[in-house]
Amino acid sequence: MPFQINVHAQDHILEVVYPPQVTSEDLAEYLAEVKKAIVGFGGEWSALVDQSQLRVMPPDVVGAMATLNAYAQLHGMKRSARIVTDAPSGLQAWRMTKRAMLTIPTRTFETRADALEWLRNPDAD
């Protein structure tokens, strides 16, 4: 599976690294695996999504990810950090967040270290 999924159990962080391109088959497998990981937390958790390799997200993928984000929020996601490399990627991440109607704190970052720091220290805002 081109998506990389890492569960940081101690920090209650679900980390996902997107591939450069997403196929429908990849997406179906990813959605199933992520939902298993979300249920596995059994409570509050945070998301770290690295979209730095992804150039363009097809409309069907945006819709599926927005639906997944809404599901995630209903199942304990309390914060969401996204790693992007340029303004178009940041705009794409923002659009997906708005489409999912997330009400949790959500930010974009240029580095994984900064994103993890923000997720691990929610009181530092």
Beta bridge partners of 17: 4, 50
Residue 92's pLDDT is what? 64
pLDDT in tens, 24-82: 888 999 999 999 999 999 999 999 999 888 877 777 887 888 889 889 999 999 999 99
Sheet of 77-83: strand order equals: 4-8, 13-17, 45-50, 77-83, 106-109
Residue 117's pLDDT is: 95
Per-residue confidence (pLDDT) for residue 77, from 0 to 100:
96
User: What's 111's DSSP letter?
Assistant: S
Q: What is the mean pLDDT of residues 77-106?
A: 74
Q: What is the rounded CA–CA span in Å between residue 77 and residue 5?
A: 16
Q: What is the pLDDT of residue 91?
A: 61
Task: Kindly state the DSSP code that residue 19 receives in the 8-state scheme.
Answer: -
What does residue 103 show for φ and ψ, rounded to 5 degrees? -115, 5
Q: How far is CA 35 from CA 17, 43, 105, 107, in A?
A: 15, 13, 20, 22
9-to-41, 47, 67, 71 alpha-carbon distances in Å:
8, 12, 24, 20
> Cβ–Cβ contacts within 10 Å for residue 89, how many?
20
